[in-house]
Amino acid sequence: MPPHAADAARHLVRYSGRADFSPELVVRASGTTIVTETGRELLDFTSGQMSAILGHSHPRIVQTVQRQITELDHLHSGMLSPPVVELSRRLAESLPDPLEKVLLLTTGAESNEAAVRMAKLVTGKHEIVSFARSWHGMTQAAANATYSAGRKGYGPATPGNFALPVPDRFHPDLLDADGELDWRRQLDLGFDLIDAQSVGSLAACLVEPILSSGGVVELPPGYLAALAAKCRERGMLLILDEAQTGLCRTGDWYAFEHDGVVPDILTVSKTLGAGLPLAAVVTTAEIEQQAHDRGFLFFTTHVADPLPAAVGNTVLDVLTEEGLEARARKSGAGLRAGLERLMERHEVVGDVRGRGLLLGVELVAEGEGATDRLGAAVTQRCYELGLHMNIVQLPGMGGVFRIAPPLTATEEELERGVDVLDRALGDVA
């Protein structure tokens, strides 16, 4: 038993649902490499919790933290600092008009909470629509808009939350004449059902442009524009959650740019802090003014903190200076090609999908519970061979590896990860 395993088992609350903690403590990390207390090295194909887009302990981030914490770390929430104003300006400049008003917070759940609260206040309505396999966080409004997990056993959900069918082309539920997903009919039917249940108080639709915890599901071309039109017809706001897709991860600065749709409210988190707790809500001047006029309140302990804001500015510097948007496209294409070769070699690999360096590999197996067992076994074998992977297990679909290495990963590291996954699939399947 590792040295601290007994203390962990005795004292830590298990907070991740079914999964246990990793069997070893991690003592340091650098770049794409995680080192455990026993000296084992693991290649990180999840960027920590899908966040460390510049790798672990990036030198520029380390320098920023060391400098900033000696100057200005935390302030009263009503005070502003140069890093906060600068980051707000730069985020606005990175986005299309009319997105220009920024609220800096800490986590993705908190940013979604603020966005939903703002939407309800501005519209004067309370009903929220999100995907049936969504994950938006564990705080109240975010959790009520989350359908992929965590809904059972906690009592009644907040009234007025509705689930929209997921346009999953690998698991199509409505087919067109060519046997493909008829997503337009699916979207129409979804809103027909929502309209039937609504009490006339639809406030907002909160979705990810690529569902991550929902199985790395990329929305079909044209879907996001059609969804935005549905929202406009009903006087709803469109909130896009780019916690895992924003800041060059998908090969664009923001994933919604791929579809030419501008949301009313955008939330970014995970990638913005590159592993440190930083999130943002970005909206229009018109919506911000309406919210302010109605007394918008989201006053938290760490709103507009200078230390994480300084880190966010450094993240934007590195993304720009190192050309990581184009690098994610190129590296992602190479990684996807390697994963598609695995699909040819292993029958249990049913699909490879995603964009840039956010890719999904779906496993398929015959028999009840077989995919769950296969996914767990492959994940464990990858760990034994030195690769940290994350698999999403959802009812009614196969296990999906979410593959999201740091944008700074080298071609050699990406190839090594594919080789390890290849070997693990062969050993297990």
Q: Give the count of domains, the chain.
A: 2
Amino acid at 103: L
- Residue 401's pLDDT is 96
Q: For residue 428, which of 381, 371, 368 has the smallest C-alpha distance? A: 381
pTM of the predicted protein model: 0.96
In this prediction, residues 2-16 reach a mean pLDDT of 83
Catalytic residue set: 135, 208, 241, 244, 270, 402
Q: What tens digit of pLDDT does each residue of 156-197 get?
A: 999 999 999 999 999 999 999 999 999 999 999 999 999 999
Domain end marker among 281, 306, 321? 321
Q: What tens digit of pLDDT does each residue of 71-94 get?
A: 999 999 999 999 999 999 999 999
Instruction: Kindly tell me the burial class for residue 301, based on how many C-beta atoms sit within 10 Å of its own C-beta (0-12, 13-18, 19 or more).
Output: exposed
In the chain, the percentage of residues whose pLDDT exceeds 90 is: 90
Residues 257 and 179 in one domain: yes
- C-alpha to C-alpha distance for 362 and 147, rounded to whole angstroms: 20
Amino acid at 139: T
Transcribe 76-102 into DSSP letters: -TT---HHHHHHHHHHHHTS-TTEEEE
| Residue found by looking up tokens 């929209």 in the block | 164
Residue 133 lies in domain: 72-321
Count of positions (residues) in the chain:
429
Residues 371 and 409 in one domain: yes
Q: What is the dihedral of CA 130, 135, 138, 140, to 10 degrees?
A: 0
Q: SS3 of 137, please?
A: coil
Q: For residue 359, which of 324, 389, 379, 320 has the smallest C-alpha distance? A: 389
Residues 311 and 381 in one domain: no
How many CB atoms within 10 Å of residue 71? 12
Residues 298 and 388 in one domain: no
Contact predicate 239/116, CB 8 Å: yes
The DSSP secondary-structure symbol of 325 reads H
Mean pLDDT for the chain overall: 95
In this prediction, residues 123-132 reach a mean pLDDT of 98
Contact predicate 248/285, CB 8 Å: no
Residues 175 and 250 in one domain: yes
Domain end marker among 289, 321, 353? 321
- Residue 30's pLDDT is 97
